[in-house]
Amino acid sequence: MPSLVEVVAALVRDDTGRYLITQRRSGSHLAGLWEFPGGKREPGESLEAALRRELTEELSARFVVGDRVETVRWEYPERTVVIHFYRCRLESGTIEPRESQTMAWVAPERLAEFDFPPADRELITRLRVGSAP
């Protein structure tokens, strides 16, 4: 039976409405694909605390975690991933990638031009057409 991995991801927008996305590093699961920043939840950690920790580790700035937009469960052959997507905003600091990952600010209508994991694609479609909650 595949292992279950719980993940948190941030929908961070700038003043012009663009979303922050990052590219998965080589050597990681789904390497080279684009994603919303975030990461794995540690045992005993709340989803919000996990997302704040992951964002600070990845992007050096501090973020406010807002409402949960949706939760997606996706079955990959080697693992099952449950991703919790939250709206987030910059609280303090400067957003700088700390883990040598490529980062981009992308308008919602351009998100489909980037290669995201299958688990993200339905949300990407809704963000593009403006129907995400």
Report the Cα 71 to chain-centroid distance in Å. 12
pLDDT in tens, 9-48: 999 999 999 999 999 877 776 678 999 999 999 999 999 9
Report pLDDT for 31.
Answer: 76
Distance in angstroms (rounded) separating the CA atoms of residues 35 and 82: 14
**b/e per residue, 65-85, with b = 16+ CB within 10 A?**
beeebeebebeeeeeebebbb
pTM: 0.89
What SS3 state is found at 76? coil
Residue 133 above 60 pLDDT? Answer: no
Local confidence band at 121 (pLDDT 50, 70, 90 cut-offs): confident
Residue 8 above 80 pLDDT? Answer: yes
- For the chain, helix (H) and strand (E) counts, in that order, are 2, 7
Report pLDDT for 129.
Answer: 74
Report pLDDT for 1.
Answer: 58
Report the CATH fold assignment for 3-129: Nucleoside Triphosphate Pyrophosphohydrolase (3.90.79)
pLDDT in tens, 34-88: 999 999 999 999 999 999 999 999 999 999 999 999 999 998 888 898 999 999 9
Instruction: Report which of residues 82 and 129 the model is more confident about.
Output: 82
Domain boundaries, the chain: 3-129
